[in-house]
Structure 1
Amino acid sequence: MSDDLGFGKLLDDEGLVARLLGKTAKGRNRPLLYGPDLPVVFLTGGPGMGKGRLLRRVRDEFGRYVPAAYVDCAAPVLRDGADQRLSTRSEATEALRELAVQFGAWGGDGGPIGAPRLYAGLVAVAAGDALANPADGLGEVRRYDDLLPRGSFWGGVLHRAFRAYLAALGALLVAQPLATPLITAILDELFARTSSEGKAALEACYGSYSGAAGHPRLGLHALSVDFQQGGDARANAESFLFRALREDVEAAYTSVRGRVARAGRPVVLLDHADDSVGRRLLRSVLLDRESGHHDRVVVLATARRADGGRFLYRSPDASAGAEDAPAVWSPSDGGLPGWARRQGGVPGLVAPARGVLLVRMPLLTTEQQNHELARLQGHGRDAGHQPGEHAARLRVESAVHRLGGGRPRFVTRLGEAAATLRVPDPAALTDWALLDAPVRSRETSDAPPRPVAELLLDDLIGRQLPEELPPEQHGHWLDLLSHLSVAHTGPCAQRLIRARQGDRDERLSAYRVAELLQDSGWPHCPRHFIGDRGLRHLLMRRLYGMTDGPGQRRGAVWRADQALLRDHFAPLPGAGPDDEDGADELFGSAAAHAAHHDLAARGAARAVDHLTRTFPARDPRRAMADWCGELLTIAGAPCEAPLAGTPDERHARALGESPAAGDDVLRRRVDRLLHAVWLYEDRTGPVDPAVPATWRQLLDRLGDEPVPGIEVLSRTAGEWAGRAREKLPLHPCACTRHIG
């Protein structure tokens, strides 16, 4: 993936990052944006939007000119480190230690940034385990030696040299057991060797800890006790430790040397910051800054939900435009985001969200997508091509645009897949064929190539499971989503999920699954349960390949799910189309909903029967506009033929080359119209212009008999023709609005 793909307006010399940090990626100075009260900046977007890639780019490029520290809050190494000694470590302290180590390794202007305040707090925590023997306790204390810069110890904060201090710690073990608790001995040694400058620094920091009353030694003791207690007390200690680190960084800038040698602002980069570790760290910054405890550290964090995450809000209404809702900005808005903290409210009671700036990760434009595809396929845009190559490239670009919707991960993965395709007939290149194209994984280069659809599901689902997904559901999550790819509304999905979870003791409801998808950053579409078109197609393809047992043919599970929903929505015998029990807000009627799924499972017969029976000429209770609406919602069904790799007969049926059987003229006309609309709405392959050209003729022929409201057919024909000229869906929804 091109490192700068889609990031131009964020990373250029006048972009948001340069103005936040006061430095460009080439090291030139820029006027600082905001300050001294800074927002916490959340980069928001679902899986595959490039949030982590952007943070790494900031670290690698801007980190040469301003101190930058990066931590992946979801990295297993944090949990692994904490698990080794749960009494004195947590994932948050492991993350803070990693940030401090990176600041201590800074080699740019001004030199390394030491972390004496954080060191003192972590040492107090490490020495606070009353059940640990002195040797183990001291070993845990010595683990933080790398937070202290070599050479002058704390830059003169302590009188003695670094080695002398460590030797003094080792001397604590001369007599066994210690006459005093280890934490008391450690803190006595620390304060005995601290200069007046160091004592003042620790007093200003830990003297303000809850219950310390200005005495840093009491503050460190209290912090250690709180950490040992766990729960909210431990969270409070972790929060204060992050403040200590930020004060260390701030001190490096306000010292005499720092004011001369350092420019710009330092930055902390927190990937997957909406997970539990990131939430604890970010809450610390937000609450501190809300209460007036400011620092110059720029905090860039990633969040999958568009609203930054539920932890930012005091009430559900805050994310919907209430007073404490955060500022929101997208690079496509132009300019730079204005931000100022709202005044009023009681610190600690107002929602943390008002200290946040949400930055929407940009979708790739069509031009950016096409440029990246050309790069991945290794040819220029205006180079010479073999016959048919230009047409094939246009097919690929169209397929990637439909499936990816501008999501960078989709574009790059599908571009890699397209580079392996050899399609003799461009007209045969469908979205399903592209998803089947083999690609070699970057992570396991020695593994055989796999279909790109499988790699995308690994990238977007398998490696980014929802944090709140119960562990017993981890192995079934992808299967569950695959089944739900054919569902629409919540009740529709609930019926399917009940059947597919069988006798499992631990079950998820469809409504809980919807929440987990939203927490994972996937968009919502009122007409589709899986609200992202590209993800839905990946899951549908996987569903089609699933089997319930040995010997079962591909497609059996797909058809079974469609049939299950068809039977669920099939109206009771004698139920009319306006029967209240059969009403369906999405499809117009339960019978239409059933016909939609039957169209996907068994073909067009039942759908044609329904549309013929309910045509206003035969059912005066029907309005023509409602009938046309039902036609569109039924025709939105997926088709099995392209998935199965079998001939698609819809084209011949739409053009009348393979007419439907029977003597019923109205039914035959409805059959042609349904196949023409179905083929156009499918949008997984090229559409013959002759197909939409038949709509006006077919709609006009339906009005041969005088029917009330027949003028609607003529108006509908004109509307559909206009949308077809722009290649727009006839029945657009949230997940198809990018098509056209």
Structure 2
Amino acid sequence: MDRELYGREAVLDDGGLVARLCGLTRHGGSRVAYEHGDDPPVTVFTGGRGTGKTALLKEVRNRYRGYTPLALLDCAHVEPPADHGPGWTPLTGALSELAVQFSPKVLGARPVRFPRLSLGLVAVAAIGWSREDDERARRDLQRLGPLLATVDATRGAAAHWVGKVLAKLAATFAETAAPLAGVLAEATVETVLEEVFGRMQRSAEGWYGNYRNAGGRGKAGLQQLANDFEQGGRRRGEAEAFLVGALTEDLFHAYTGLRRGTRVGRPLLLLDNAHEPLGRQLVEPILRARAAEGRRDRLVVLAASRVRDHEALRQATRTRLPETAHRAPCPRGTSVGSGILAVELTPLSPAQTRAAFDRYDPAGRTPAALAPAVHRLTGGRPL
């Protein structure tokens, strides 16, 4: 059932902002012309507590789930798994979770597969493993099972490939007393490719030939990725940004090579609390690839930020929610941040605050003065 949003519905109307960005009306009812062609802006809804940002993102999810691939992530609450290895960070954990959410079959289209992202996360998971710690390696690999199941639901979810990876690692440790992260990554990747990837081996591995110092060689790129990830600092940031690119590349390929009309609309990435560091780690690589490389990834990013004046929004095009009902121009400049459309959620009116009370108190038991008082005390932000 659709949720009452008290004035925020305009963004979800059949001709509203979300429909014009993703090309579909709610519940996949019909197609809508793309307002921004093949280069949609990253849309950030801004406003303090109580403005309904989270409710808005959840309602987008509710209305479009099952009709276009989508994922919703709270950037403030990505919980680390127990006793994880050094290959887990909030960013790698978030990417794995997002891919699993994006993957399910939607109306008229097959599930989305994530071979490139899976391979990269397998490579970085291997860093820090030791001969004496095969149980941690087993747990790290098993946690990647749901992600690898997006590549092959039968082989990815099966446990036998984990045992084969561990056997390969044992042989690697026997040959080298203290193997480097890149060597461990290569041993792990080789086995996973053989056991899970099937015909997607070449395209998944080949994509990493674009990584720095790889020279077009996928295996070399994966080794370098693992080494950079282990190094930390700026190099880890580069590796993580490349993994974000792997996610968007896998999504892009889900929309190419299919017969016309099989997949409509665009995928939706919904990020709550995007003002947190994780939000920037996810969004900035997408913006940079669009600005610097001209990448057209077809991904619609809708984010929520409690910090209206966040430094990442300095070059954004700013507008207010009511102004986006029919069009929302976002002229591009040369800066990365010019690819952001910042939409301020305006306060509720006194009548909308009253309607919120009436919805939950249809019998009118609350004092008549309560709704006006709440509106006054919250500045129209009671949600």
Give the structure-2-normalised TM-score.
0.87
Q: Which residue of 2 aligns with 1:366?
A: 350
User: Shift of the alpha carbon at 1:361?
Assistant: 1.3
- Tell me if the contact between 1:114 and 1:154 (Cα under 8 Å) persists in the aligned partners: no
Q: Which residue of 1 aligns with 2:144?
A: 144
| Match among 330, 334, 341 for residue 339 of structure 1 | 330
User: Shift of the alpha carbon at 1:92?
Assistant: 0.8
Instruction: Determine whether 1:329 maps to 2:319.
Output: yes
Q: Which residue of 1 aligns with 2:376?
A: 402
User: Which secondary structure state, in structure 2, belongs to the residue aligned with residue 122 of structure 1?
Assistant: helix
User: Which secondary structure state, in structure 2, belongs to the residue aligned with residue 184 of structure 1?
Assistant: helix
Structure 2 distance, partners of 1:12, 1:306, is 25
User: Shift of the alpha carbon at 1:43?
Assistant: 0.8
More displaced 10-residue stretch of structure 1: 163-172 or 270-279: 163-172
User: Which secondary structure state, in structure 2, belongs to the residue aligned with residue 339 of structure 1?
Assistant: coil
Structure 2 distance, partners of 1:190, 1:290, is 34
Amino acid at match of 2:25: T
Q: 1:248-273 deviations in whole A, cap 9, x for unaligned?
A: 1111111326x542110001111111
User: Shift of the alpha carbon at 1:371?
Assistant: 1.9
User: Shift of the alpha carbon at 1:108?
Assistant: 3.6
- Tell me if the contact between 1:115 and 1:245 (Cα under 8 Å) persists in the aligned partners: yes
Q: Which residue of 1 aligns with 2:93?
A: 94
Structure 2 distance, partners of 1:217, 1:357, is 38
Structure 1 distance, partners of 2:18, 2:94, is 23
Structure 1 distance, partners of 2:186, 2:6, is 54
Q: Which residue of 1 aligns with 2:203?
A: 200
Amino acid at match of 1:142: Q
Give the structure-1-normalised TM-score.
0.47
Q: Which residue of 1 aligns with 2:288?
A: 287
Instruction: Determine whether 1:278 maps to 2:279.
Output: yes
Change (3 A) 1:101 1:196: closer
Change (3 A) 1:370 1:207: same
Q: Which residue of 1 aligns with 2:180?
A: none
User: Which secondary structure state, in structure 2, belongs to the residue aligned with residue 111 of structure 1?
Assistant: coil
- Tell me if the contact between 2:45 and 2:343 (Cα under 8 Å) persists in the aligned partners: yes
| Match among 334, 337, 353 for residue 353 of structure 1 | 337
- The aligned runs of 1:207-606 (5 Å cut-off) are 207-256=209-258, 259-291=260-292, 292-307=294-309, 309-312=310-313, 319=314, 325-333=315-323, 334-342=325-333, 345=334, 350=335, 352-379=336-363, 393=368, 395-409=369-383
Unaligned ranges ≥5, structure 1: 313-318, 320-324, 410-740
- Tell me if the contact between 1:172 and 1:178 (Cα under 8 Å) persists in the aligned partners: no
Q: Which residue of 2 aligns with 1:41?
A: 43
Change (3 A) 1:35 1:128: farther
Structure 2 distance, partners of 1:20, 1:371, is 29
Q: Which residue of 1 aligns with 2:8?
A: 7
Structure 2 distance, partners of 1:256, 1:178, is 46
Structure 1 distance, partners of 2:340, 2:163, is 46
User: Which secondary structure state, in structure 2, belongs to the residue aligned with residue 71 of structure 1?
Assistant: strand
Amino acid at match of 1:340: P
Amino acid at match of 1:248: D
User: Which secondary structure state, in structure 1, belongs to the residue aligned with residue 264 of structure 2?
Assistant: coil
Change (3 A) 1:197 1:374: closer
Q: Which residue of 1 aligns with 2:117?
A: 118
Question: Superposition RMSD on alpha carbons, in Å?
Answer: 2.9
Change (3 A) 1:377 1:354: same
Q: Tell me which of the two structures has the higher relative contact order, counting C-alpha pairs closer than 8 angstroms and 6 or more residues apart.
A: 2
User: Shift of the alpha carbon at 1:286?
Assistant: 1.3
User: Shift of the alpha carbon at 1:131?
Assistant: 4.0
User: Which secondary structure state, in structure 1, belongs to the residue aligned with residue 270 of structure 2?
Assistant: strand
Structure 1 distance, partners of 2:215, 2:116, is 18
- Tell me if the contact between 2:138 and 2:162 (Cα under 8 Å) persists in the aligned partners: no
Structure 1 distance, partners of 2:85, 2:70, is 28
Amino acid at match of 1:115: F
Change (3 A) 1:129 1:173: closer
Change (3 A) 1:55 1:140: same
User: Which secondary structure state, in structure 2, belongs to the residue aligned with residue 26 of structure 1?
Assistant: helix
- Tell me if the contact between 1:45 and 1:51 (Cα under 8 Å) persists in the aligned partners: yes
Q: Which residue of 1 aligns with 2:165?
A: 169
How many residues are matched?
Answer: 371
- Tell me if the contact between 1:134 and 1:173 (Cα under 8 Å) persists in the aligned partners: no
- Tell me if the contact between 1:206 and 1:216 (Cα under 8 Å) persists in the aligned partners: yes
User: Which secondary structure state, in structure 1, belongs to the residue aligned with residue 110 of structure 2?
Assistant: coil
Amino acid at match of 2:288: L
Structure 2 distance, partners of 1:62, 1:31, is 17
User: Shift of the alpha carbon at 1:123?
Assistant: 0.4
User: Which secondary structure state, in structure 2, belongs to the residue aligned with residue 358 of structure 1?
Assistant: strand
Identity of aligned residues (%): 35
Change (3 A) 1:35 1:212: farther
Q: Which residue of 2 aligns with 1:182?
A: 184
Change (3 A) 1:27 1:176: closer
Structure 1 distance, partners of 2:63, 2:299, is 18
